[in-house]
Chain A
């Protein structure tokens, strides 16, 4: 059953703490996306990678957010320091270059108090 796996599913943290979200893309997919979903803004593209190289991170606040792909089976999104306005559901999605469909994980619900 090929699917995108995200951990943790839920995270509650205090303002100022570091948060790391992890994503395991579907095996063989070479493009990975990070999206943030809020009621006000909907789904926003934060960053995406192809073959582990960052292609576009213009949607990501650079001062506190960072995204990496240490290897082809792991993508990480880190927030340091976290702020209450970062509270949202963060989705990872993966796809295959040359195709059109992006497959989403179940998301990480982040609450910063």
Chain B
């Protein structure tokens, strides 16, 4: 059972455009929703995260929108740059507290064309 569904699988956007990656979850006990960025040959790295008590969080050019009633959240990248080309994973964590294991979406391979 896939608890976090991510779309699209791949995305190509022109430089300056706004790629949007969507995720949906099923488990209402999830209380922490991070996005990770992964470059080839590297491990995933935390990009930005949100908790369900807010509807939006912005850090630099990256914004998470969160819809608790729909159990959906999305990542928006403003003024995208070729250096943003990477694989992006959404994730969710249960309410057990502490650094418990994350459930990841299957990833979106993003290409920003110059």
Contacts and interface: CB of A to CB of B under 8 A. Distances in A.
Given A42-B105, A42-B106, A45-B103, A98 B41 contact: no
B100 interface: yes
The A interface, classified by DSSP as helix, strand, loop or mixed, is strand
A100 B106 contact: no
Interface residues of B, number: 23
A18 B99 CA distance: 30
A42 B89 contact: yes
A62 to B, nearest CB: 17
Chain A, interface size category, equals: 20 to 34
Nearest to A96: B99
A22 to B, nearest CB: 15
A24 B45 CA distance: 17
Contact of B44 (A43, A44, A97): A43
Contacts of A103: 45-46
Given A48-B100, A98-B97, A43 B43 contact: no
B106 A31 contact: no
Interface in A72-113: 91, 93, 95-107
Nearest to A107: B43
B114 interface: no
B104 A98 contact: no
10 pairs of A and B residues whose beta carbons are closest in the complex? A95-B99, A104-B43, A97-B98, A42-B106, A43-B104, A31-B99, A45-B101, A48-B101, A104-B44, A101-B46
Interface of B: 32, 34, 36, 41-46, 49, 89, 93, 97-107
Interface of A: 4, 31, 33, 41-45, 48, 50, 55-56, 91, 93, 95-107
